[in-house]
Amino acid sequence: MNHEHIALSDEVADALSAGLGVVALESTLLAHGLPASVSLDVAHRLESVVRAQGAVPATIAVLGGRARVGLDADQLARVCADDAGLVKLSRRDLAPALALGRDGATTVAGTATLAAQAGVGVFATGGLGGVHLAEPGAQAWDVSADLDVLASTPVAVVCSGVKSVLDIAATVEVLETRSIPVLGFGTDSFPSFYLRESAFGVPWRVDSAAAAAAVVAAHRDHVPGGSGVLVVNPVPAEHELDRDLHDRLLADGMALLRERGVRGKDVTPVLLDHFHTSSGGASLTTNIELVVSNALVAAQIAVELARPR
Ligand code: PSU
Ligand code: MN
- Tens-place pLDDT, residues 217-271: 999 999 999 999 999 999 999 999 999 999 999 999 999 999 999 988 999 999 9
Contact 69, 118 (CB under 8 A): yes
What distances in angstroms separate CA 19 from CA 12, 13, 254, 259, one per listed residue? Answer: 10, 10, 45, 51
Residue-level pLDDT at 308: 84
Name the pLDDT band for 184 (thresholds 50, 70, 90): very high
Residue 107 identity (one-letter amino acid): T
Residue-level pLDDT at 61: 98
Active site residues: 26, 163
Residue-level pLDDT at 2: 74
Phi and psi, residue 227, nearest 5°: -85, 170
CA 144 to ligand 2 center in whole angstroms: 5
What average pLDDT does the chain have? Answer: 96
For the Cβ of 130 lying below 6 angstroms from any atom of ligand 1, the answer is no
Task: State which of 146, 263, 265, 294 you would mutate to test the pocket of ligand 1, scoring each by most atoms of that ligand within 8 A of its C-beta.
Answer: 146
* CATH superfamily placement of domain 6-306: Indigoidine synthase domain (3.40.1790.10)
Report, as an integer, the average pLDDT of 10-33: 98
Give the integer Cα–Cα distance in Å for 283 and 288. 9
Q: For residue 104, which ligand has an atom nearest its CA?
A: 1
For the Cβ of 289 lying below 6 angstroms from any atom of ligand 1, the answer is no
CA 268 to ligand 2 center in whole angstroms: 7
Task: State which of 25, 108, 265 you would mutate to test the pocket of ligand 1, scoring each by most atoms of that ligand within 8 A of its C-beta.
Answer: 108
**Pairing state between β 122-124 and 204-206:** unpaired
CA 145 to ligand 1 center in whole angstroms: 10
CA 293 to ligand 2 center in whole angstroms: 25
Residue-level pLDDT at 218: 98
The residue nearest atom 10 of ligand 1, judged by CA position, is 107
Residue-level pLDDT at 37: 95
Residue-level pLDDT at 279: 95
Residue-level pLDDT at 158: 99
Residue-level pLDDT at 187: 98
**Residue 130 pLDDT > 90, yes or no?**
yes
Question: Domain limits of the chain?
Answer: 6-306
The residue nearest atom 17 of ligand 1, judged by CA position, is 129
Name the pLDDT band for 137 (thresholds 50, 70, 90): confident
**Residue 280 pLDDT > 90, yes or no?**
yes
Report, as an integer, the average pLDDT of 110-129: 98
For the Cβ of 91 lying below 6 angstroms from any atom of ligand 1, the answer is no
Per-residue pLDDT of 38-87, as tens digits, reads: 999 999 999 999 999 999 999 999 999 999 999 999 999 999 999 878 99
**Residue 136 pLDDT > 80, yes or no?**
no
**Residue 3 pLDDT > 90, yes or no?**
no
**Residue 162 pLDDT > 80, yes or no?**
yes
Residue-level pLDDT at 85: 87
In sequence order, the 6+-apart residues with CB closer than 8 A to the CB of 283 are 194, 241, 246, 249, 275, 276
